[in-house]
Amino acid sequence: MSSRAGAAKGRGTRRYPTRDEVARLAGTSTAVVSYVVNDGPRPVSAATKERVLEAIEALGYRPNALARSLRARRTQAIGLIVPDLANPFFGELGRWVEDRGFDGGNALLVGNSMGSEEREQRYVELFLQYRVAGLILVPIGDGRASAQRLRESAVPVVVLDRPVPGLAVPAVLPDNVAGAAAATRHLLEHGYSEVACLAGPDGLASSEERVEGWSRALDEALVPMSGRLLLRTAFGRAAGYRGALELLDRADRPRAVFVASDEQAFGVLRAAAHRGIRVPEDLAVIGFDGLEQAAFTVPGLTTMRQDVRAAGELAVRTLTDRSPQPAARTVRLPVRLCLRGSCGCPDKLEEGGAW
């Protein structure tokens, strides 16, 4: 058995040693312990420091971050609220936010709003009580509900992925319009005379922007638009699957489709297979987001890749920069066409085996 302070028997049984105990054991004052732990602000003689370090080690002392934050009047925690962590897009986003935060010594609190505004509110509230140093929000719905509560608060906030009309807060967004237009244009260049759009839900700004890009590309190419080419569904594989069936079961089914998210596109691929419709020969598909999984579908999914990493990192940086805050700024990150087989281009796995 270890020589350390009494081994834990039950659970959560043992108390954490405090600064007082360390001081006592080292035969110094608590202030000195603090100077050692923080390497400042006052100097400590080498000998004393040594004794303190030994006491810390012997006791297994771990500074209490809560007390520290209380005293400092600021935490090192940042909050992230997303619609669903199990959605690979938010998973990837979360990874980069976490990674960047970790570099800066931040802890990351995450909340899933699960598509519920009420739940989103509750998380905003909870994180505010935890006095997070910053809050990154991928808002649900039109985000108006959270806007008010946030505007009244003192935390720096960044919204990600979706603009929130009423909120004058920095935003990091993909260039949805340009991306959707590029995807549509690419399909047109493959020679299709019309391109359908399997869009995201109504009323969600990022969804509307992608529809806008699609429609703009059609206009530019002087392709006549028609309502029957546009179908809105929820984001997500299952919704994409059902939407695709609806499109594909029509007598005049489309030959090419721009899908507003990769997740929906996975559903489209599955639906086409289910109906015996070959991709890309009978149906050309382009998705949006650039998920890692898109490189592994059969055929590979051509998609508009967002730089999720840049988005996550930029969000954290915006929160973290202690520089005088410029007026709330919206940054549009470029998306780029990532060619694979589903649109009719050659279907090669990325060289170098990037993933």
Partner DNA sequence: CTGAAAGCGCTAACAG
Partner DNA sequence: CTGTTAGCGCTTTCAG
Q: What are the residues binding DNA (CB under 7 A)?
A: 15-16, 18-20, 27-35, 37-38, 41-45, 47-49, 63-64, 67-68, 70-73
299 binds, among its own copies, DNA, none (CB under 5 to 8 A by kind): its own copies
Task: List all residues 6 or more positions away from 83 whose beta carbon is below 8 Å from its beta carbon.
Answer: 90, 112, 113, 114, 115, 138, 140
Write out the binding residues for its own copies, residues 234-273 only, by CB under 8 A. Answer: 236-238, 241-242, 266-267, 269-270, 273
Confirm or reject binding of residue 293 to its own copies (CB under 8 A): yes
> Would the CA dihedral through 119, 121, 124, 129 be positive or negative?
negative
Confirm or reject binding of residue 353 to its own copies (CB under 8 A): yes
* Nearest approach, Cβ of residue 16 and DNA (Å): 7
Please identify, among the stretches 22-30, 146-154, 200-208, 216-224, the one whose residues bind its own copies according to the rule CB under 8 A. Answer: 146-154
Six-digit token string for 167: 């909120």
DSSP 344: T
* Nearest approach, Cβ of residue 152 and DNA (Å): 16
Write out the binding residues for its own copies, residues 93-122 only, by CB under 8 A. Answer: 94-95, 98-99, 102, 107-112, 114, 119
Nearer to DNA, 18 or 153 (CB): 18
Give Cα 47 to chain centroid, integer Å.
48
Write out the binding residues for its own copies, residues 42-101 only, by CB under 8 A. Answer: 60, 62-67, 69-70, 75, 77, 84-88, 90-92, 94-95, 98-99
DSSP 190: T
* Nearest approach, Cβ of residue 94 and its own copies (Å): 5
Nearer to DNA, 29 or 193 (CB): 29
State the helix-helix crossing angle for 19-26 and 46-59, rounded to 10 degrees.
130
Backbone angles phi, psi at 346, to 5 degrees: -60, 140
Confirm or reject binding of residue 310 to its own copies (CB under 8 A): no
35 binds, among its own copies, DNA, none (CB under 5 to 8 A by kind): DNA
Cα of first residue to Cα of last residue in the chain, in angstroms, is: 46
| Cβ 303 vs Cβ 258: under 8 Å | no
Nearer to DNA, 75 or 306 (CB): 75
Task: List all residues 6 or more positions away from 72 whose beta carbon is below 8 Å from its beta carbon.
Answer: none
Q: How far apart are CA 108 and CA 77, in angstroms?
A: 6
Q: How far apart are CA 233 and CA 250, in angstroms?
A: 17
Query: Between 204 and 223, how does the x/- string for binding to its own copies read (CB under 8 A)?
Result: --------------------
Please identify, among the stretches 2-10, 35-43, 204-212, 331-339, the one whose residues bind its own copies according to the rule CB under 8 A. Answer: 2-10
* Nearest approach, Cβ of residue 180 and its own copies (Å): 22
Which value, to the nearest 10 degrees, does the dihedral of the CA atoms of residues 192, 198, 199, 202 take? Answer: 130
Please give the full DSSP string across 26-64, using - where no structure is assigned. Answer: HTS-HHHHHHHHHT-SS---HHHHHHHHHHHHHHT----
Tell me the HSE value of 26 on the side-chain side, using a 13 A CA sphere. 28
45 binds, among DNA, its own copies, none (CB under 5 to 8 A by kind): DNA
13 binds, among DNA, its own copies, none (CB under 5 to 8 A by kind): its own copies
